[in-house]
Amino acid sequence: MPQILEEMHRIIPSERIHFAWTDDVGTIVNAYFEKPDPAVLGWLSHNQQRFEEEIGYSVRQAILFGKLTGNFRWPFRKGAEATESYERMFRALNIQYCIDGVLRDRDRPLGQIVLFRQPEDGDFSGEEEGVLARTLPYIAHAISSPVKTPEAFVETGDSGLMVFDATGKVSYQSRLAKELCVYALHERIPVGQDTGLDSRAVEAGLQGLFKQVLENFSDSDAVHSPPAWTLKNKWGEFQLRAYALQAAAGTANSYGVMVEKKIPAEVRMLRKIKEMPLSNKQREVCFHLARGVSTDEVGAMLGISATTLKEHTQAIYRKLSINKREDLIRLVLS
C-alpha cells in the first residue's frame, strides 16, 4: 500500500492519503494512514458514529451504495466546521479538502481511498476527480490479487529515535519514530471499533517493545554491541536497534531505540530504475536482470529474441557506464 499511495501522490498532489480495507458489508477491517497521529486515530476509533453524524457522511453507505468518487467531499454538512469532529480530526491535522474513491470488485466492496489537502492547497478539481476514478480499477486489481511475500528487504534510510526512561516511559519520540511504531507494533488498525488504535493500544505496544529492549540487554553480548532485531508483520519489516544511555556514573538510566523501516528489494530496484536514463523497454530488461533472472527467462517473459535482448543489455550497460550484471545489481540497490 505505501508504494501505491506514493504513485497516487505523483498523479494527484495531496498532503496525505488514507486507505481502508472493508469486508463484504462495508465494515472497515484494517486501514493504512500516511503520517498517522495516534491521538486522532484513537478519537476516531471510539467516535466513528459521532463523526459521521456531525460531518454528514456514512462510511458504510458510501462503500456499499455510494458513487465511485466524491462521497466524502468539501464542503461538508452545514455547521460541520463548528463540531468536535471537525476540531479533533481536520483542524488537528490541518486538513480541509478531501476526495474519496470507492473500490469494488463487481458489486463486492473492497475498500476506500481518501486524499486530503491543507487549506492553503486549494480544493480538488473535477479533472482530478476524473483521474482518481480512472485509477480505481488498477488499485482494486492490485489489492485483490494474491500477494507474494517478498524474499528480501533493504534499508530505506527512514528511521526515528525514541528514548525510554528506566521505568519504560517514553521520554522522547521523534515524529518519524511515532509513525513507524504505529505500523511496527500494530498489525491491524480498524476504524470505528473498540479494538482500534488508541492511547491504550499504543502504550501497550511501547511497553512490549521496552520489555524486549530489557531482554536484549540481559544478554552479555549486548555489552559489546547494541542489540538489534527485526519485527515483521503485514506492513513489512522494521529494524530496531537499542542503546543503553549512561549517566556520568556509568549506570544505564535510560534506553534509546532506533526504528528503521525496510522495503522489499524489488521495490527499491523499481524506484532506482525509474530514475535511470533508459527507455521503458530497457528499464523492463534492467529490472529482470537485476532480480537475477536468467537471460533465457528474460527473453521468454518479454517475448524477444536472444539477439534483441543482448542489444538491450549492451545499451543498458553503455548508458550506465557498467560492464556486468553484478555492477547493475549494486547500482539499483544503492
Q: Residue written as cell 526512561?
A: 165
Residue 231, C-alpha cell as written in the block: 519485527
Residue-wise pLDDT tens digits, 304-317: 999 999 999 999 99
Q: How far is 117 from 129, CA to CA, in rounded Å?
A: 14
Residue-wise pLDDT tens digits, 99-128: 999 999 877 899 999 999 999 999 999 999
Q: Residue written as cell 476527480?
A: 129
Q: Give the pLDDT score at 236.
A: 85
Q: What are phi and psi of 161, to 5 degrees?
A: -120, 140
CATH topology of domain 153-264: Beta-Lactamase (3.30.450)
For 276-332, the fitting CATH number among 1.10.1200.10, 3.30.420.10, 1.10.10.10, 1.10.8.50 is 1.10.10.10
- Ordered DSSP codes for 110-156: EEEEEEEE-GGG-PPPHHHHHHHHHHHHHHHHHHHSPPPPPS-EEEE
Q: How large is the average pLDDT for residues 153-170? A: 88
Q: How far is 54 from 56, CA to CA, in rounded Å?
A: 6
Give residue 143's pLDDT band: very low, low, confident or very high (50, 70, 90): confident
Q: Give the pLDDT score at 114.
A: 96
- CB contact at 8 A, 100 and 114: yes
Strand, helix or coil for residue 192: coil
Give residue 270's pLDDT band: very low, low, confident or very high (50, 70, 90): confident
pLDDT score of 221 more than 70: no
- CB contact at 8 A, 198 and 46: yes
- CB contact at 8 A, 74 and 123: yes
Strand, helix or coil for residue 170: strand
Q: How large is the average pLDDT for residues 178-182? A: 88
Residue-wise pLDDT tens digits, 39-96: 888 888 888 889 999 999 998 999 999 999 999 999 899 999 999 999 999 999 999 9
Q: How large is the average pLDDT for residues 177-184? A: 89
Q: What are phi and psi of 159, to 5 degrees?
A: -145, 160
- CB contact at 8 A, 214 and 198: no
- CB contact at 8 A, 162 and 11: no
Is 276-332 the same fold as 2-144? no
Residue-wise pLDDT tens digits, 186-196: 888 877 655 56
For the chain, which residues make up each domain, given as ranges?
Answer: 2-144, 153-264, 276-332
- CB contact at 8 A, 8 and 115: yes
Residue 308, C-alpha cell as written in the block: 534483441
- Ordered DSSP codes for 244-306: EEE-TTS-EEEEEEEEEEEEEHHHHHHHHHHTSS--HHHHHHHHHHHTT--HHHHHHHHT--H
Q: How far is 261 from 236, CA to CA, in rounded Å?
A: 8
Asked, as a colleague might, if the bond just before 227 is cis with ω within 30 of 0, I would say no
Q: How far is 324 from 216, CA to CA, in rounded Å?
A: 42
CATH topology of domain 2-144: Beta-Lactamase (3.30.450)
Q: Residue written as cell 540487554?
A: 217
Between 146 and 25, the more confident residue is 25
Torsion of CA 164, 170, 172, 176, to 10 degrees: 100
Q: Give the pLDDT score at 83.
A: 96
* Mean pLDDT for all residues in the chain: 88
